[in-house]
Structure 1
């Protein structure tokens, strides 16, 4: 099955699968633990909450990387802009990991 954007052009599905997979990994590895520890819910409710948190991640990734994708513009961005965007994403990912450790700190 080839994914297509809203104009009907074929789109590479790999970036969407990578982002959705990373979102799944983060939400389902940290979500149930924090929901059970902080709110005292049972395992089934924690997994359902993590699934509910993963749905918006997958929807936003699909919208950004498939529906709104413009493959014809890919070559027009300079490499320095793409590298800078990748660098900002890495910083955001690092900050997310730091935020995930904050509830574990005993103040």
Structure 2
């Protein structure tokens, strides 16, 4: 019997919760590490910058839930072939690089 508290995809099948929790944690770190600094650099007050950071975190969490939980294959579906895994990793690394460059531009 499966754990009733496990995350399930839209078909009701259990999925691995670790990628969702890691992505959500990283979203929190990025939103509240860079968000207030960038908000202040753009002339927002601290409370507005924190509110914008919270909004960015909530948005990132919703996107992560949709991609990593709702649309996830079941946990027992087996591993993806190496080609698509490498392609996803490459795109994620490029997106992270663009995000970091974009977040440092207002600080120059």
Q: Under a length normalisation based on structure 1, what TM-score does the superposition of the two structures give?
A: 0.86
Aligned to 2:91: 88
RMSD: 1.5
Pairing of 1:1-107 with structure 2 (within 5 A): 1-41=5-45, 43-71=46-74, 73-75=77-79, 77-105=80-108
Unaligned segments of structure 2, at least 5 residues: none
Aligned length: 103
The TM-score normalised by the length of structure 2 is 0.85
**C-alpha deviation, 1:50, in angstroms:** 0.8
Structure 1 runs (4+) deviating above 6 angstroms are none
The higher relative CO (CA closer than 8 Å, separation ≥ 6) is in 2
Q: Which has the higher helix share?
A: 1
1:84 Cα shift?
1.9
